[in-house]
Amino acid sequence: MTPIQLVFLFVAFATLWAAFMVVTRNNLVHAALFLVIALFGVAVLFVMLEAGFLAVIQVLVYIGAIAILMIFAVMLTRGDVDDIPDITNRYAGWVGLVAVLFFSSLVILMAQWPSFTALAKPILSSRDTIVELGTALVSPNGYVIPFEVASVMLLAALIGALVVARPRKGK
Amino acid sequence: MIPLSWYLILAAGLFCIGFYGVLARRNAIAILMSIELMLNAVNINLVAFWRFLAPESISGQAFAVIVFAVAAAEVAVGLALVISIYRSRKTVIAEEINLMKW
Amino acid sequence: MLDQWLFVGIFVSIAAVFPLLPLVMARFLAPRKPNRIKQETYECGIETVGDTWVQFKIQYYVYALVFLIFDIETVFLYPWAVSFDVLPLFAVFEGVLFILILAAGLFYAWRKGALEWS
């Protein structure tokens, strides 16, 4: 058991615990705060996978913007329907069973795969993955189409969400 | 050293917790939060596969960046819809939004 | 590379312990004699008015929404900007096109008055 493995296990259990709290808390503000813990755990995992840029983005976008948007939406939709006694629908027991079965079958299936226990080869320290990512995102042989489509998608999301969320005139 | 299997099992667990949340929760915002958990599990997998199996190309990270953009767009529009529905029908319970069901 | 992140980890741990320590210490050291007035929510010394869970204005959501979209823009533009020196001219214009498409969204939000606090 090396220190890095201990760190991984701690982060993994914290993430799973927080994720479990997200789906079981009745108070949605608490659920959103547990979501922040889970997202931060994933950011730490990105660091351990040597994807530092994605870790920073995870904190910046998920925790800094998406979680905040969630909390605002919770605040906006709080009314007398809040704190409903049963937070899950009537299929919750079956769904939980299916989720456990799905998890175990995933693990069993993956265990058959020869690369399942592969170890990481060290990445050369001379490599700059951010420059590589930037080059790949705009190179015609790489991801330029997804790059430009992403901007159109974000434009559509911005306009669509503004149209839907803003109150109609005269109301 | 940490083998690939640890990351994959963690991502599978996170995905299944999100899966449970999506199908079992009644509040629409809680469902969106669970979808975020599932997208994060997918991102862990993408980055882990990049790191362990194909570190020489950058594709795994590029995929993860696109997933970030999709997740942001999904949350922006999804929450706007929830707020809009709340404004007209005073509910965020997914089962009670049944105007188009038969 | 992980060695560099060790320092970030140490800072995060210190930052987490720093506010937690006084809270834990206060629990053990401070004498506790609660009564009804002491248990009230503290709000700048005046009495609290109304419920804690109030309805927010939609404007908060609209601001956070515009922020989120342009936050995502940085995700794409940061690697582009870092690799600016090695990119061909064609690729630079792709980035500019990306910015222009999203600037249209900002222009729309501006014209629709989404950025105004009504």
| Domain architecture of chain A: domains with CATH | 1-80 (1.20.120.1200), 124-171 (no CATH)
Whether A16 shows a pLDDT value over 60: the answer reads yes
Instruction: Report the alpha-carbon distance of residue C33 to residue C38 in Å, rounded.
Output: 9
Contact flag B86-A77 (C-beta cutoff 8 Å): yes
Report which of C108, C118, B97, B35 is spatially closest to residue A160, judged by C-alpha positions: C108
For residue B27, which residues of chain A lie inside 8 Å, CB to CB?
Answer: 28, 84, 87
- Residue C118, domain member (yes or no): no
Q: Reduced to 3 states, what is the DSSP secondary structure of residue C115?
A: coil
Q: Note if the pTM is more than 0.80.
A: yes
Residue A25 has pLDDT above 90, yes or no: no
C44 against C18, higher pLDDT? C18
Give the model's confidence band at C114: pLDDT under 50 very low, under 70 low, under 90 confident, else very high. Answer: confident
- Number of domains making up chain C: 1
Q: What is the pLDDT of residue B97?
A: 79
Residue A135 has pLDDT above 50, yes or no: yes
Position of tokens 């998890």? A103
Chain B neighbors (3+ CB pairs < 8 Å):
A, C
Check pLDDT > 90 for residue B102: no
Determine the pLDDT at residue A171: 46
**CB-based contacts of B84, cutoff 8 Å, min separation 6:** A164, A165
Alpha carbon of A16: minimum distance to chain B alpha carbons (Å) = 6
10 Å CB burial of residue B6 (0-12, 13-18, 19+) is middle
Q: Do the Cβ atoms of A115 and B29 come within 8 Å? A: no
Nearest-CA neighbor of B95 among A95, A35, A91, A100? A91
Q: Over the stretch B26-42, which tens digit does the pLDDT of each residue have?
A: 888 999 999 999 999 99
How far does the CA of residue B1 sit from the closest CA of chain C (Å)? 12
pLDDT for C53 equals: 62
Are A154 and C105 a contacting pair, CB within 8 Å? yes
Of the pLDDT bands very low, low, confident and very high (cuts 50, 70, 90), residue C55 is: low
CA-CA-CA-CA torsion sign (A52, A58, A63, A65): positive
Mean pLDDT of chain B: 89
Average pLDDT rounded to a whole number, residues B51-57: 87
Look up the CATH number of the domain holding residue C25: 1.20.58.1610
Residue C68 counted as domain residue:
yes
Phi/psi region, residue A128 (left: phi>0; alpha: psi -120 to 50; beta: rest), is beta
In a domain, C57, yes or no: yes
| Per-residue pLDDT tens digits for C57-83 | 778 888 889 999 999 998 899 999 998
* Confidence band, pLDDT 50/70/90 cuts, at residue B16: very high
Give the pair of three-digit tokens for residue B3. Answer: 């083998």
From C55, C61, C69, residue closest to A165, measured CB to CB: C61
CA distance B14 to B8: 10
Position C117 in a domain: no
The per-residue DSSP string of chain A comes to --HHHHHHHHHHHHHHHHHHHHHH-SSHHHHHHHHHHHHHHHHHHHHHTT-HHHHHHIIIIIIIIIHHHHHHHHHHT-STT-S-S--B-TTHHHHHHHHHHHHHHHHHHHHTSGGGG--PPPPPTT--HHHHHHHHHH-TTTTHHHHHHHHHHHHHHHHHHHHHHSPPTT-
Q: Which domains does chain B have, with CATH numbers?
A: 26-96 (1.10.287.3510)
pLDDT tens digit sequence for A61-115? 999 999 999 988 888 887 554 556 667 778 888 999 999 999 999 999 998 988 8
Instruction: State the complex-level ipTM.
Output: 0.91
Mean pLDDT of chain A: 86
- Whether A137 shows a pLDDT value over 70: the answer reads yes
As a whole-number percent, the residues of chain C with pLDDT over 70 amount to 89
Option in B12, B43, B53 nearest A106 (CB) = B12
Segments forming the whole domain that contains residue C15: 2-111
Residue A167 above 90 pLDDT?
Answer: no
Q: What is the DSSP letter of B95?
A: G
Dihedral-angle region of residue C63 (phi above 0 means left; psi in -120 to 50 means alpha; beta otherwise): alpha
Q: Over range C3-18, report the average pLDDT.
A: 89
User: Percent of chain A having pLDDT more than 70?
Assistant: 93
* Chain A residues 80-139 with a CB less than 8 Å from chain C: 82, 123, 125, 128, 130-135, 137-139
Residue C47 pLDDT more than 90?
no
- What is the reported pLDDT for B74? 93
